[in-house]
Copies of this chain bind each other. A is one copy, B any other.
Amino acid sequence: MSTIEPAPSSVGQRGPAEHDLRDQIIQAARAHFSRFGYGKTTVADVAKAIGFSKAYIYKFFDSKQAIGQTICAQCLDKIVAAGEAGIADGRSASEKFRRFFNSIIMTTAELALEEELLYEVAAHAAEERWPSVVAYLERAETLVKEIIFFGRETGEFERKTPIDETSEAIMLVMQSFMNPLMLKQNLKGLPENPAKVINLILRSLAP
C-alpha cells in the first residue's frame, strides 16, 4: 500500500492526529448517532453536546460522514482484532476457522446490540462502500486465505480448488452474519446458525 494514501480510518480527518479532542468529538457523535440516529444528527448537534462551535469541529473532521467513517473504522478494527485473537487461539486450521468467524460474528452482534442505532451508520457504510468497509472485507478475506493455506499445509484441507474461488465463496456465505444488516435478521439464531454454516464450509474444505 502506498504511504501517501491515508489509512482508511483517517479519511476526511484534519489537524493533528493525536488529540484528545478528536476522541471527545467521536464519543459525543457516537452517543448522538446511537440515540437519535445518524441521519438526524447534525455536526451542530455534536458540537453543542461537547460545548464547542461547529467551526471548531470542522478543524478535525470535514463532514458528518468523516465522523461516521471514523466510528465505523473503529468498530471494524475491534471486530478484526477479535477475529485475529480467535485465529491465534485455535490450534488446527478448522479450530482457527471456527474461532475466527465466531469472534467476528459475536463482536459484530455485541456492537450492534449495544448501540442499536449504529446500524444506520453501518447501512450507509455498506451501501456507499466506505473505504473502511472495503479494507475490512479485504483483511478478512486475507485472513481466511491464510487459514486455508495453513490447513492445506497440514493436510487438513483439500488442495484442488483454486484458493481464490474457495475464499471468495466463503466470504459470500459468511456475509449473512458479517454484514450487520443481514446479521440483524439472524440475531435469534446466534450462535447455532453460524455454527451450522461453518460446519458446512468445513465439510467443503475437507480433503
Contacts and interface: CB of A to CB of B under 8 A. Distances in A.
Interface of A: 126, 158, 161, 165-166, 168-170, 172-173, 175-176, 179, 181-182, 185, 189, 193, 196-197, 199-201, 203-205
Contacts of A158: 203
B172 A193 contact: yes
Given A161-B203, A176-B176, A203-B161, A169 B182 contact: no
Closest 7 CB pairs of A and B: A204-B204, A203-B204, A169-B200, A169-B196, A200-B204, A176-B176, A173-B173
Contacts of A169: 196-197, 199-200
B185 A179 contact: yes
A168 B165 CA distance: 24
Given A161-B203, A203-B204, A204-B203, A197 B172 contact: yes
Nearest to A199: B169
Contact of A200 (B170, B185, B189): B170
Contacts of A179: 185
A18 to B, nearest CB: 37
Residue among A158, A161, A168, A204 facing the most chain B CB atoms (10 A cut-off):
A204
Nearest to A189: B172
Contacts of A199: 165, 169
Contacts of A161: 203
A181 B184 CA distance: 12
